[in-house]
Amino acid sequence: MDSYPTPALALVEEMHAAAAANPARAVAFQGAPGANSHRAAIEWSAGCLPLPCFSFEDALDAVSAGRAGSAIIPIENSQHGRVADIHFLLPGSGLSIVGEYFLPITYAVMGLGAGPYKAAYSHPQALGQTRKYLRERGIVPLAYADTAGAAALVKEMGDPEACAIAPALAAEFYDLTIAEQGVEDAPDNTTRFVVLSRDALDPATLSGHPAMTTFVFEVKNVPAALYKALGGFATNGVNMTKLESYQQGASFSATMFFADILGAPGDPSIDRALEELAFHSKELRMLGSYPQARVRG
């Protein structure tokens, strides 16, 4: 907890105590109280006990160790791309994806007063999503570990020329003045979160409902391996909504792929496509099947 700015510590300790008393209801998230991940947790599960964690690894460890029943992690933003390296974190965590949630993102500028400000602290993602606003006003962007933590830092610094880019909720927690709201550059700014648990959902429970399945794989080192591995999805009419490559290790010889498809095992077309993928792959690891969420308009 020492990594949080002082104004956030009492809130973090209070939330940790509540979660410790009822870990099954706890939802771990990365960041200080008031972060977008905090918002996602309480919107996804209204009766949950939000459990703030300083890093993504800490949030996953809380679930693995039984201190939380689940974790909610942002993985991609509509304007700024990948958020968390879930490709690296999840396969080794022993956890499974059991849900997804789309959170519309809106930011406020907040400080000790109404400005003007010379510097803005926030998570690099938030700074990237408000780049136009900051440039037009000549405000210097300064990266911090998370948005709400940046708000707590501004409170701790006591500098009237410093502000934070954070959800409006953070201003309530840290007694800051909101100078302007809705400063994100794009009105349709949205972040996709995944919900992680120790126990995977049985794909059979998703039968007849819109579902997603996420997995990682490494193809064999032969010509046209990726083309052959993915051919089964085309021939079986399975829609792949995401395919992203990343390097495993420092040799740059083992390329892994992270993928989302519509549907779940148990559907004959899904089963055939995954069987063909496994045949052409050195490794195939399922990360979970879960109900498909919808982007809110």
Amino acid (1-letter code) at residue 101: Y
* Candidate list 54, 193, 217, 258, residue with the active-site label: 193
Name beta bridge partners: 81: 77
Amino acid (1-letter code) at residue 170: A
- Find where tokens 């304007």 sit: 79
Q: Is 193 a catalytic residue?
A: yes
* Candidate list 29, 54, 173, 191, residue with the active-site label: 191
Q: Is 177 a catalytic residue?
A: no
Distance separating alpha carbons of residues 105 and 143, to the nearest angstrom: 18
Distance separating alpha carbons of residues 75 and 164, to the nearest angstrom: 22
Helix or strand or coil: residue 95? coil
Distance separating alpha carbons of residues 132 and 151, to the nearest angstrom: 20
Strands in the chain per DSSP E: 26-30, 49-53, 70-77, 81-82, 96-104, 108-111, 119-122, 140-143, 162-166, 177-181, 190-197, 211-219, 240-247, 255-262, 281-291
**How many helices and strands in the chain, by DSSP H and E?**
10, 15
- The catalytic site residues sit at 191, 193
